[in-house]
Amino acid sequence: MTENARTGPLQGIRVLDLTQFLSGPYATQILADLGAEVIKVESPQGDLSRSVAPHFVEGDSLYYHSINRSKQCVVLDLKTDKGREALRRMACASDIVIENFRPGVIRRLGLSVEDLRAEVPSLIWCSISGFGQDGPYRNKPAYDMIVQALSGGMSMTGEAGRPPVRAGIPIGDLSAGMYAVIACLAAINRRHLNGDGEVIDISMLDCQAAMLCYQGAYYLNSGMIPGRQGRAHDSIPTYRSFTTGSGEDIVVTANTERMWKGLCVALQLNELPNDPRFIDNGARLKNKEALWPILEAAFANLDVDEAVGRLEAQEVPVGVVNTLDRVASDPQITYRNMVLTMENDSGSSVRVMGDPIKLKSCPGPLPSFPRPLGEDTATVLRRVLNMPEDEIAEFQAAVPGRRRAMTEGVSNE
Residue 321, CB half-sphere, CA atoms under 13 Å: how many?
14
Q: Can you tell me the distance from the alpha carbon of 366 to that of 355, in angstroms, rounded to the nearest whole number?
A: 10
List the one residue out of 72, 88, 3 whose CA is nearest residue 31: 72
Burial state string for 213-235 with b = 16 or more CB within 10 A and e = fewer than 16: eebeebeeeeeeeeebbbebebe
* HEC-encoded secondary structure of 175-240: HHHHHHHHHHHHHHHHHHHHCCCEEEEEEHHHHHHHCCHHHHHHHHHHCCCCCCCCCECCCCCCEE
Among 144, 173, 206, 355, the active-site one is: 173
Identify whether 345 is a catalytic site residue: no
Quick one: residue 70, left, alpha or beta (phi over 0 = left, psi -120 to 50 = alpha)?
Answer: left
Q: Which of 158, 133, 134 is nearest to 148 (CA)?
A: 158
Catalytic residue numbers? 173
